[in-house]
Structure 1
Amino acid sequence: MITHLALDGVLEGGLGVGIDVTDTAAKITGDGNRVFRQRVVSTDGLPVRSGAGRTISVDGEPAASEDFGPGDILVIPGPSASTETGVDRLLTGPGGARAVELILGAAANGATVAASCSATFVLAASGLLSKRRATTTWWLAPLFARRFPDVTLLSDRMVVDSGTVLTAGTAFAHADLMLALVARLGGPELAEDTARYLLLDARLSQSRYMVLEHLRSADPALRAVEEHVHANLDRRLTLGELAGAASISPRTLTRRTRECLGVSPIEFVHRLRVSAATQLLTTTRQPVDAVATAVGYADPAAFRRIYRRHTGESPSSTRSRAKTGLP
């Protein structure tokens, strides 16, 4: 069974898409398939208030730990907590504490636990992500990295599967999370059929949705690094040179990029180069190899690998998507 845990402030889109994906997979496989039975619960069995202020009904009493076993899944869509203050309220309130208790009980009984958006903070607070890989919504990535340094954060990924725990990025990455769960329960072909019915595209990365300005605006050192990278896009840059451009030490630059962006300086540079490459791919007719050279990659194959890792698609796919006007 799939149990959706709706926390106070739950984002309706995330909860709704989780229900719809599960329901669609159940209908494709047939009503007799018990794997895709589902329910919506709250931490106290009472209706919850959504992030938009509407009342969300739940299915009876809250789930107890004993209700879970191997093969069951506890899914937590993100609530509306887009700032550090909001995350604090989420984690310190009674609902957050009860959610952590339920997560630990379900996991102890062999269930898989999955969370998206700000709900990943609740999952991390349970300790289940310690020494594991995870993702979260991109604008909260620096905060997540500071609070949970023992978690390997892959902030550019839509979904990270760490075995018995899965995490996803923004609220609408909840669709990607649910498709990953469908693939686990019913196979990749069922996940593809479900996505096709619901017109959900495959997005492996959050990188093309990240607005780095939102994260670096308060740090003049990172702005200086960005300016230096853009002025020298076509050549290799060392950590020492980047630190010199910002008038700080390499160690300080590494610490600043980790604190402000949740990534290393080299990953920051890759993002800037990939962003510039995307601009060239969508606004010029330069061959992909020429674009690679223009943004500092002497090896076109390496450029393609890095580009796909950061955007979830190939350079040619980006160009084709731009031509068709798709998002």
Structure 2
Amino acid sequence: MRVAMLAIDGAFDSGLATVADVLETANVLRDEIERPPPPWEVTVVGTRRQVRTAAGMRVTTTSVEELDAPPQLLVAPALGVRQSAAVVETVGAARNRPLLDLLARCRSEGIELAGACTGAFFLAESGVLEEQPATTSWWLGPTFRARYPGVDLDTGQTLVRGEGVSTAGAAFAHIDLALSLVHTQSPALADLIARYLLIGDRASQASFAVPTMLARNSPEMATFERWVRSHLDGPIRISAAAAAIGLSERTLQRVTAATVGMSPVEFVNEVRLDEAAFLLRSSTLTADAVAARVGFQNAGTLRALVRRRRGMTIRELRRGATRA
């Protein structure tokens, strides 16, 4: 398969390297299985002959016009930035317009597209994710929803496959994305690579999301989050919370959905779970005591929430496990 990876100034070093490494490992191991798929031919493509990555390394690229043949898969770039405003500024910059045009053109020609982390912003900015399911880094969810309301975003997922386009979550989900690309050609080879490289299962980003960081993207949400934390040890009525922060219940529902993709009740539970995880890891309180501190009548309710949202037990959560 001919794979083109886009690279621009400020590209996330590990993102580029990870995709390339997984696909090269596939080439090395493909003869270890019966009926191996064709090899992957990876080309780094850019609008300039050489780009500088976020870590300062220089990468020589091939221009689109110099490609010997059209790619069968085009992987959008991820950026080595940590501020949502910088992501938006970069994807909307005039200098990167050729990349967006390339993505749109490849989409119209039926070429498979993929992107991880901030790479999903390039896909969305080009219009190829409109009315498509997608994911991105959990902490970029509020900004993504505000800028691309026509995309069916689910930041709870690490990997989302739409019609001819795949997206993956936070930065090191590049591993999951690359492995899924191999899986489409050979599940057996993907399994071999996962074992060879010690790649674990990260089916969800939920266990990594921090409610406080998500709420920062909206003044109303930040106020709601602070109010919830100050009332965690008792029952929380959404109508009372809305009134306390000067919003109607309908407005609070709308703001919560637009900012974090949840209902107010779901967000309250995320805050409860975030506080419970902190208490379990930093104290010797029993599960029942922790449950009471975050507003649950008993540990059974907390256990069910931990299992549903984190995919683990309270004991695993207390140990600091990150299995999802």
TM-score after normalising by structure 1: 0.81
Tell me if the contact between 1:118 and 1:136 (Cα under 8 Å) persists in the aligned partners. Answer: yes
Q: CA offset at residue 203 of structure 1?
A: 1.5
Secondary structure in 2 matching 1:136: coil
Partner of 1:146: 146
Secondary structure in 1 matching 2:115: strand
Aligned counterpart for 1:322 among listed residues 296, 320, 323: 320
Q: CA offset at residue 114 of structure 1?
A: 0.7
Partner of 1:67: 70
Partner of 2:43: 40
Q: 1:321, 1:176 → 2: CA distance?
A: 25
Inter-CA distance 270–320: structure 2 relative to 1 (3 Å threshold) = closer
Tell me if the contact between 2:87 and 2:118 (Cα under 8 Å) persists in the aligned partners. Answer: no
1:63-103 per-residue CA deviation (whole Å, 9 max, x = no partner) reads 769614xxx32112302343324422332323x32222222
Partner of 2:212: 213
Partner of 2:60: 57
Partner of 1:243: 242
Partner of 2:189: 190
Q: 2:105, 2:301 → 1: CA distance?
A: 44
**Structure 1 residue identity aligned to 2:24:** D
Partner of 2:265: 266
Partner of 2:97: 97
> Is 2:152 the partner of 1:158?
no
Q: 1:19, 1:140 → 2: CA distance?
A: 25
Secondary structure in 1 matching 2:113: strand
Inter-CA distance 38–234: structure 2 relative to 1 (3 Å threshold) = farther
Q: 2:290, 2:185 → 1: CA distance?
A: 41
Inter-CA distance 229–192: structure 2 relative to 1 (3 Å threshold) = farther
Q: 1:122, 1:65 → 2: CA distance?
A: 24
Inter-CA distance 156–251: structure 2 relative to 1 (3 Å threshold) = same
Partner of 1:88: 89
Partner of 2:26: 25
Tell me if the contact between 2:76 and 2:122 (Cα under 8 Å) persists in the aligned partners. Answer: no
Q: 1:65, 1:267 → 2: CA distance?
A: 50
Q: CA offset at residue 241 of structure 1?
A: 2.5
Tell me if the contact between 1:76 and 1:119 (Cα under 8 Å) persists in the aligned partners. Answer: yes
**Structure 2 residue identity aligned to 1:118:** T
**Structure 2 residue identity aligned to 1:25:** A
Tell me if the contact between 1:278 and 1:318 (Cα under 8 Å) persists in the aligned partners. Answer: no
Tell me if the contact between 2:146 and 2:259 (Cα under 8 Å) persists in the aligned partners. Answer: no
Q: 2:152, 2:28 → 1: CA distance?
A: 37
Inter-CA distance 58–224: structure 2 relative to 1 (3 Å threshold) = closer
After superposing the two structures, state which structure 1 stretch, 156-165 or 18-27, moved more: 156-165
Secondary structure in 2 matching 1:205: coil
Q: CA offset at residue 316 of structure 1?
A: 4.9
Inter-CA distance 218–23: structure 2 relative to 1 (3 Å threshold) = closer
Partner of 1:170: 170
Question: How well do the aligned residues superpose, as a CA RMSD in angstroms?
Answer: 3.5
Q: 2:66, 2:254 → 1: CA distance?
A: 42
Inter-CA distance 73–235: structure 2 relative to 1 (3 Å threshold) = farther
1:267-299 per-residue CA deviation (whole Å, 9 max, x = no partner) reads 321311221332354455746x88667755679
TM-score after normalising by structure 2: 0.81
Q: CA offset at residue 218 of structure 1?
A: 7.3
Q: 1:147, 1:114 → 2: CA distance?
A: 19
Q: CA offset at residue 144 of structure 1?
A: 1.1
**Structure 2 residue identity aligned to 1:178:** A
**Structure 1 residue identity aligned to 2:61:** V
Inter-CA distance 228–111: structure 2 relative to 1 (3 Å threshold) = same
Tell me if the contact between 2:45 and 2:61 (Cα under 8 Å) persists in the aligned partners. Answer: yes
Instruction: Show structure 1 runs of 5+ residues with no match.
Output: none
Q: 2:148, 2:323 → 1: CA distance?
A: 36
Tell me if the contact between 1:6 and 1:40 (Cα under 8 Å) persists in the aligned partners. Answer: no
